[in-house]
Amino acid sequence: MKDASPQPIYLSDYTPPEYLVDQVELTFRLAPSATRVISKIRFRPNPEAVSKRFFLHGEGLATISSTIDGAPVTPREVEGGIEVDAPDAPFTWEAEVEIDPKANTALEGLYMSNGMYCTQCEAEGFRKITWYPDRPDVMAPFTVRIEGDEPVMLSNGNPTASGDGWREWTDPWPKPAYLFALVAGDLVAREDSFTTMSGKHVDLRLWVRPGDEGKTAFGMEALKKSMKWDEEVYGREYDLDIFQIVAVSDFNMGAMENKGLNIFNTSAVLCSPETSTDANFERIEAIIAHEYFHNWTGNRITCRDWFQLSLKEGLTVFRDQQFSADMRSPSVCRISDVLSLRGRQFREDNGPLAHQVQPDSFVEINNFYTATIYEKGAEVIRMLKTLVGDDGYRKALDLYFERHDGQACTIDDWLKVFEDATGRDLSQFRRWYKQAGTPRLKVTETWDDGTYQLTFTQTTPPTPGQAVKEPQVIPIAVGLLGPNGDEVRETQVLEMTEGTQTFTFEGLSARPVPSILRGFSAPVIVERETTPDERAFLLAHDTDEFNRWEAGRSLAKEVLTGMITGGDAPQAAYLDALATMLRDDSADPAFRALALQMPGEDDIAQTLFDAGMTPDPDAIHEACETLKQARAEYLQDLLPRLSADMTVSEPFEPNAEQAGKRALGLQLLKLATRLDGGKAAQAQYEAADNMTHSLGALACLLDAGKADAALAEFRERWKNDALVMDKWFMLQVSHAAPAEAAATVERLTKDPAFTMKNPNRFRSVFGAFAGNPAGFHQKDGSGYALLADWLIRLDPINPQITARMSGAFETWKRYDADRQDLIAGELDRILATPGLSRDTAEMVGRIRG
């Protein structure tokens, strides 16, 4: 039964576990609809406990037997689990339960995917496997015996014994239950090995379904690079004899860092030039690194409770961002990271779902795997590093690993390590974890006879449950440029701690042009009155690549908002600056591709809303179309030469250099398509020998309305490749004209290849729909009703994905009264659904407000 009015749990209610676990022994007797799980667990009273209650979590378990020290016991069923009378001394709990993996469509606990058994236990899935204190501060070594006739049967740790029809795995490192994993089925491995810095041999295995072997090479290389990088940059060595990755088709998230046995969504690990785009390769490299890095930041040092989630996620995202920057172009990586931060986290922070990096309460923890916990959490660590410097950061991290290895920690433990290692007081910095919302940084300036002053004022708008905000520490990286474009003051980090603060630069010979928030040194929104000429000047001259890009971006947004509101639209300045930037052959093609990318329609909507206007999705779409056409016409003379320069003659490699050329080539193809109606795109589609080219060309053909033949050909060619078919679904929805988007979604959901049981497939259609704002927000409300219908249908099958996708509605308060009424109606309809999951009820309830 689902809880009708789910109660929040509070950080302030934390109490230590009553019992600790010294050892876990599990036996699995696998059967698709009736798997038996036999547990033998050594408990001991926790001296730090405040009560003596012996409570075990459990959900949907059919108990066959349970004993304490061999004597049968009768547990009392209580909310969320059972209570048993237990000795105030060490004892052994044994239980046998039966579960039904085949019926598990929520993909949490033990479930079947594509005929194979697999598990997902973070955050609270282990309680669907057996009775256990399913909380991260209970850590124990596990031994797991798997019995069954599957050819491959895996669990965490090292393989320690095996026989006919059984395998045994032992994980010596104490871990919380959320890091438990089991996989069994018909799998094949790419095998490799790694020698650690102290000379230990580690076997590496990347397990896939037969047929997918050809998509494992890149993932394995990425793993080895990650292992090396973590040794070199953080001094972290791997700690088991074997490290395994398994690719699974049905998975709610990207991937999971289970100790020694990472489980990956196929989309986050499998790739080949024929089936994957450059963006796929880049994402896969980052996710493999991310999960591997969790071995130290997450597993060896874990979280005390789920309010500390960002302790592992913010830090691990920051580490994977550092890794990607080292593997590829740092400024290009930074720009991409900020694009996604703004698109997802700022959006969240400015709506009804805004929450702290360390929340005070939650109803369903699955709803808190958010851009705020992950990406803002990483930004906070980046600022910390800027403030204490590289050496201070390294010292603090060394102390963190030394002091807390083997522990379940809090964000306060983390900050204390920085205070102790660097002597810096971080009490004000802590507000970054405790205040939700994106600070606005208003900038004014004065110039007087050689003295230049910058005055900053910070304000953070109220967020749900947090009306008043205190000033935060903001590291503002600033450089100054002279009138001829030379840098007259190198980057300097201004530390702002007050609500309003002035910084003075003396001895300048002419009024400078400031380059503010270089490298995006803090996750804030800068508000500064400036001129199109100044932006064009920065786009041409700034030595900070991020701010060069930012200048072009702001200019584009100014043009668009001007076109929409009937204000000034500095189109000529923008087009001219764009042409100058494109002609600059010394600039990295990847950078130029990013600078040529249009601002997203959702970004424009938020910008208009911030400026006190009501965004009209159709008008935004129209303005973007008009500007795209104007750009194509203005830049047409440049296209042939530049496109030719972007030709890659070497065989396909998914490296940054080639990817940059292809990215710029595709931006140019989009422009060309507006002029030639799709001729060049058709030619590229036909000639393509890699997915980046075919998909890019197909997108252009869709925009030109000439894609019918190519879509049919593509479908036929790739009908047996689920990951490529996801792209086929996604592209049609994201490139549908506004008035046709809902109909496209309806048509695609009737395609025999559509299924709502596979999260990737559902997302490829409905995620793309939410990402097509003009289509989703059609005035008649058809988009809202369509999404709501499908969310209601999906909820009993997969609550996590339903809750996540309901985020499509999170921006609803931006829009006009009619649209708001329509959305409110759909949100209420979802909320009124009998038996609605706790996940969806919480999310939709918070969005509705």
Q: For binding to ligand PHE (CB under 6 A), which residues are involved? A: 120, 122, 253, 255-257, 290-291, 313, 369
Angstrom distances, CA of residue 163 to CA of 37, 160, 168, 241, 426: 19, 11, 9, 20, 55
Strand pairing category for 261-265 and 242-248: parallel
Q: Mark 666-703 as b/e (b = at least 16 C-beta within 10 Å).
A: bbbbbbbbbebebebbbebbeebebbbbbbbbbbbbbb
DSSP 8-state assignment for residue 116: E
Question: In the complex, what is the shortest distance from the CB of residue 400 to Zn ion, in angstroms, rounded to a whole number?
Answer: 17
Q: Which does 369 bind (CB under 5 to 8 A by kind): ligand PHE, Zn ion, none?
A: ligand PHE
Angstrom distances, CA of residue 329 to CA of 234, 321, 325, 656, 740: 20, 11, 6, 7, 38
Residue with the CB atom nearest ligand PHE in the bound state: 253
Question: In the complex, what is the shortest distance from the CB of residue 755 to ligand PHE, in angstroms, rounded to a whole number?
Answer: 20
Rounded Cα distance, 210 and 444, in Å: 62
28: burial class by Cβ within 10 Å (0-12, 13-18, 19+)? buried
Q: Which is nearer to Zn ion, 313 or 842 (CB)?
A: 313
Q: Which does 276 bind (CB under 5 to 8 A by kind): Zn ion, ligand PHE, none?
A: none
Q: Which is nearer to Zn ion, 143 or 316 (CB)?
A: 316
DSSP 3-state of 417: helix
Question: In the complex, what is the shortest distance from the CB of residue 192 to ligand PHE, in angstroms, rounded to a whole number?
Answer: 22
Q: Which is nearer to ligand PHE, 120 or 764 (CB)?
A: 120
Q: Which is nearer to ligand PHE, 253 or 786 (CB)?
A: 253
Which are the catalytic amino acids? 291
Question: In the complex, what is the shortest distance from the CB of residue 244 to ligand PHE, in angstroms, rounded to a whole number?
Answer: 16
DSSP 3-state of 543: coil
Angle at 63 between CA 57 and CA 64, to 5 degrees: 150
Q: Which does 345 bind (CB under 5 to 8 A by kind): ligand PHE, Zn ion, none?
A: none
Q: Which is nearer to ligand PHE, 255 or 836 (CB)?
A: 255
Contact predicate 135/14, CB 8 Å = no
DSSP 3-state of 223: helix
The first and second tokens of residue 458, run together, are 């910070």
Contact predicate 55/18, CB 8 Å = yes
Q: Which is nearer to Zn ion, 295 or 472 (CB)?
A: 295
Question: In the complex, what is the shortest distance from the CB of residue 277 to Zn ion, in angstroms, rounded to a whole number?
Answer: 23
Return the H-helix or E-strand segment holding 558.
Answer: helix 545-565
Question: In the complex, what is the shortest distance from the CB of residue 736 to ligand PHE, in angstroms, rounded to a whole number?
Answer: 30
Rounded Cα distance, 245 and 202, in Å: 13
Question: In the complex, what is the shortest distance from the CB of residue 247 to ligand PHE, in angstroms, rounded to a whole number?
Answer: 14
Question: In the complex, what is the shortest distance from the CB of residue 291 to Zn ion, in angstroms, rounded to a whole number?
Answer: 7
Q: Which does 256 bind (CB under 5 to 8 A by kind): ligand PHE, Zn ion, none?
A: ligand PHE
Q: Which is nearer to Zn ion, 778 or 800 (CB)?
A: 800
DSSP 3-state of 811: coil
How many residues line the site for Zn ion (CB under 5 A)?
Answer: 2
The interface with Zn ion within residues 365-404 (CB under 5 A) comprises none
The interface with Zn ion within residues 280-339 (CB under 5 A) comprises 313, 316
Q: Give Cα 807 distance to the centre of its chain.
A: 14
Q: Which does 601 bind (CB under 5 to 8 A by kind): Zn ion, ligand PHE, none?
A: none
Q: Which residues pair with 257 in a beta bridge?
A: none
Q: Which is nearer to ligand PHE, 170 or 262 (CB)?
A: 262
Angle at 597 between CA 591 and CA 599, to 5 degrees: 125
**Interaction site with Zn ion (CB under 5 A):** 313, 316
